[in-house]
Structure 1
Amino acid sequence: MSRRASKTHALHSLRTGKSFTVPVVGAEYDYEYLTNITIGGQSFLVIIDTGSSDTWLAQKGFSCFNLTGAPEPISTCAFGSEGFDTKLSKSFQWYPNTEFALEYGDGESLTGTAAFETVTVGGLTVKHQEIGVVSNASWVGDGINTGLLGLAYPWLTSVTNSKGGNKLQYNPFFFNAVKQKQVSPYFSLALNRGTASGMRSPGTDPHLGYLAFGGIAQVPVTADRVTVPIQGYSITTRAPTSSRHPTYFYYTVDVQKYVFPNSSAVVTASNSTIVDSGTTLNLVPTDVARVYNAAFNATWRGGSYYVDCKAQAPPFAVLLRGKTFTIDPQDQVVYAGTDEHGEDMCMSGTQDGGPQTMGSMFILGDVFLHNVVTTFDIEKNQIMFTQRKYY
């Protein structure tokens, strides 16, 4: 069946213009997705994160702390290099009287200051880009990455005035690239699931997908696709809004339905669901996770659902704006290391993200993203999802 003319035109428009594609590397048992970035002439591997906005690097000579705030040797933070040496850069410029401070949900935190630098990712170069330079880190590293490339909206940036504590919002890397007319206003991500060897190794795992700026990540796909509006919010109430001038934070979408055995027994629709490359698992409403994992014969331990590593996962699909996207069952069995007896442990790929209440947010993480090509349009504030072919 041929595509409608309007859809054909839309796809053609996404493929025209200058594009920059970079390969994605797996790390930390393939829980993380990294790419190479050059800042001030120095190259580092950094985490690709659609769930945050700042681009930051650990500075050479940084201080390391554990998650309780106690000082530790630099090696404990396990960055992949000595850090960014500001003295070696000809383009480096401090941003006076600023503080950079960022906290993650797992307890990791970073502090430092802001600076301006020349940043290049895959041939896409942005001059005078604001970045975070980390001088104090409470970080559980992988020994490979030295920072992070944040791709979400400007409102989530983390720089403040050191004198008054006022937020100094700025344009993240990709937003500045568009503003500087270096690239079309969309980027695309295709994340491959980890390999059998990579999922059991803390080292790097090459060829795990593509990040394409101004283009479409080229992997085999089906004809199943849909464009979904990104959910905007009220800046005062932080609640989703349909006003003409909302504020955008994360790449959040409305999920019409999750489809799995006995899913009709619970309400599965949920808004404020973040499409997040920086999170491995899907985090869904409590009732959804409970019913799905019951069909999985999962065991609840320590706040997570665990499954037999040889289990066959029940079917699971996500309905977005009338189009169903399936998750390959093998993505729902996530290797989680070994127990005290040396036996393999595995977690369910779909976990409890908490009850569905006002202000709740959920996550479609890498378990979902392995199965789609996701194209983020920051000008039209929409995401195109395309089902990948079985691989």
Structure 2
Amino acid sequence: MAHWKLATFLAIAVAYASALEVRHVRSSRAAVSSGIELPVAPFSVPLTDKVPRSSAKKRMLRELRAGARSNVAVVAGAADDEEYLTDITIGGQDFKVVVDTGSSDTFLAGIGFQCFSLADVPVPEADCFFGTAGFDISKSETFVPFPDTNFNISFADAEFLTGSVGFDTITVGGLTVTQQEFGVVTAAAWNGDTISTGLMGLAFPTLTSVFNGTDPDADETAAHLLYNPFFFSAVQQKAVDAPFFSVALNRGTFAKEANSTLDPNLGFLAFGGIAPVAVTKTSTTVPVQGFATSSGASEIFFYAVDVEQVTFPGSTAKTTINAPSILDTGTTLNLVPTNIAKEFNARFKPPATFVEDEDTYFVDCNAIAPTFSIKIGGQEFAVDGRDQIVPSLDENNNLVCISGTQDGGPDEEGNFFVLGDVFLHNVVATFDISKNDITLTERASY
């Protein structure tokens, strides 16, 4: 089976109206710091489960960099390349899905989907490791198909998802949106987690993945059809009073990160207010940063912020970061500039070891992590040392540990970095989609 080529994905993901020059456009709005009061979210759902996730996004982000692109819900946990999950109801059917601030589409595997290997060879459905048999269109009384369109995502590691598009009623954490557009996957090469059946993306409409026509192999930039992701629709439909959502991701215990496939109550996804966890008075509000297109306009794709400085023992003036950093619940690790990653990882006791063919810093599971903080909007936010030692399993199912802060490439024009769950365990991130602002609030010790 032919599917959408990576080059097309990169071109569309980074610039839909014109080619992206991958230049950072800094917002001129100043950060507002200290003591910001946010209402408690009226809707919230717990996050659950630490489960293995595909490494496709990390690779996709690297390709984009190199390529020229209050209801509250409980969420599930994350370890290396693992994700937070929440419960979602679509058309009266219940599923667990990945909560992802680093993408925009909501999608579910559909009943009877075709599974493929990464070599594009048909394999049994079970080999895609979705959590259920999938969404059954025939059992939804509210599903409306979107004819002559297709849903299409393809990744650098040969994973892909293609399918049909429709509209249905979606509820998360008590917040209900009607006629929400989403993808029903009919063909996939996917390294799932055996628990989640899809994903709920919370980023901007520019990153959605619906196209005119029914042949995914023919999709191109001009055929892209932007639509409002779930929370954007909720605001448009006035289903929520305040136009912001909030995430609080709890760290799990080391034992559960290493061994558990399901770890419930690991934080909250909240709509219309701040997530209901204990916080300090340390906070800052900063603008979302965009990228310039060849037309000169600034496009916003991800929740990207400017990082002013990274501090750790022995850090130098080179620990400033020029390129923006994405706040991404769908990526476990921090990805920082090469020089910062190298200096920081050398200060573990014992020092981390860089394994070149895996492009990864490994650490002793009993190592002592150096202190580490990130300065954003004039405020420093410390990252707990417990978050910097991430358990994982090697190919032989042996426990190994990796550093929570990894090499994201050079700090240069056209690059960007990631502040993943390792950072987000230490703050509550509240995203205002009306002002394109992000408020970071330090969490109380837990």
Give the TM-score normalised by structure 1.
Answer: 0.92
Q: C-alpha distance in 2, partners of 1:138/1:276?
A: 23
Aligned to 1:79: 130
Contact 1:26/1:198 (<8 A) preserved: no
Is 1:326–2:350 an aligned residue pair? no
Q: 1:325 to 1:381 in 2, by over 3 A?
A: same
| Residue 314 of structure 1 pairs with residue 365 of structure 2 | no
Give structure 1 stretches of 5+ with no counterpart. 1-5
Instruction: Supply the AA of the counterpart residue of 1:158.
Output: S
Contact 1:298–1:305 (CA under 8 A) maintained in structure 2:
yes
- 2:359 corresponds to 1:303: yes
Partner SS state of residue 255, structure 1: coil
In 1: Cα distance, 2:194 partner to 2:395 partner: 23
The letter of the residue matching 2:258 is R
Q: CA deviation at 1:338?
A: 4.7
- Output the CA distance in 2 between the equivalents of 1:124 and 1:7: 30
User: How far apart are residue 373 of structure 1 and its match?
Assistant: 0.5
Q: Partners in 2 of 1:25 and 1:267 — Cα distance?
A: 34
CA contact (8 A) 2:323 2:411 kept: no
Give yes or no for the alignment of 1:198 onto 2:273: no
* Aligned residue in 2 for 1:281: 333
Give 1:173's match in structure 2, choosing from 216, 227, 230.
230
Which is worse superposed, 137-146 or 47-56? 137-146
Q: Post-superposition shift, 1:195? A: 2.3
Q: Is 2:117 the counterpart of 1:66?
A: yes
2:97 to 24, 35, 46: 46
Matching residue within 273, 282, 289 for 1:231: 289
Q: Quickly say closer, same or farther: Cα 1:352–1:125, change in 2 above 3 A.
A: same
1:4-32 deviations in Å (ceiling 9; x for gaps): xx977x61xx317x721000002316321
Shift in CA distance, 384/107, structure 1 to aligned 2, threshold 3 Å: farther
Say yes or no: does 1:92 pair with 2:143. yes
Q: CA deviation at 1:232?
A: 2.2
State the match for 2:428 in structure 1: 373
Q: Are 2:45 and 2:172, in contact at CA under 8 Å, matched by a contact in 1?
A: yes
CA distance in 2 between partners of 1:105 and 1:375 (Å): 30
Question: Which residue does 1:362 correspond to in 2?
Answer: 417
**Aligned partner of 2:393 among 326, 330, 337:** 337
The 8 Å contact of residues 59 and 133 in structure 1, kept in 2 or not, is answered as yes
Partner of 1:28: 51
Quote the offset at 1:208 in angstroms.
Answer: 0.1
Q: Which amino acid aligns with 1:130?
A: E
Give the deviation of 1:339 after TM superposition: 6.5
Matches within 5 A, 1:137-176: 137-162=188-213, 165=219, 166-176=223-233
CA contact (8 A) 1:64 1:71 kept: yes
CA apart distance, 1:356: 1.8
* Partner Cα separation in structure 2 for residue 300 and residue 158 of structure 1: 36
Answer yes or no: is 1:350 the counterpart of 2:405: yes
Structure 1 match to 2:279: 221
Q: Distance in 1 between matches of 2:172 and 2:157?
A: 27
Partner of 1:128: 179
Verify: 1:258 aligned to 2:315, yes or no.
no
How far apart are the structure 1 equivalents of 2:155 and 2:346? 30
Q: Distance in 2 between matches of 1:116 and 1:49?
A: 20
Does the 8 A contact of 1:28 with 1:201 survive in 2?
no
Q: Which amino acid aligns with 1:160?
A: F
**RMSD of the TM alignment (CA)?**
1.9
Quote the offset at 1:104 in angstroms.
4.0
Q: Partner residue of 1:210?
A: 268
C-alpha deviation, 1:236, in angstroms: 2.8
- Matched position secondary structure for 1:331: helix
**Letter of the structure 2 residue corresponding to residue 201 of structure 1:** N
After superposition, the Cα gap between the structure-2 partners of 1:222 and 1:151, relative to the gap in structure 1 and judged at 3 Å, is same
Measure the CA separation in 1 of the matches of 2:172 and 2:377: 32
Contact 1:39 1:119 in 2 (8 A): yes
Conserved 8 A contact 2:322-2:412: no
> Displacement of 1:106 after TM fit?
4.9
* Aligned residue type for 1:213: F
5+ residue gaps, structure 2: 1-32, 53-77
**Does the CA contact (< 8 Å) of 1:185 and 1:378 recur in 2?**
yes
Deviation at residue 230 of structure 1 after TM alignment: 0.4
Distance (Å, rounded) in 2 between the aligned partners of 1:343 and 1:23: 30
Determine the C-alpha separation between the residues in 2 that align with 1:205 and 1:293: 28
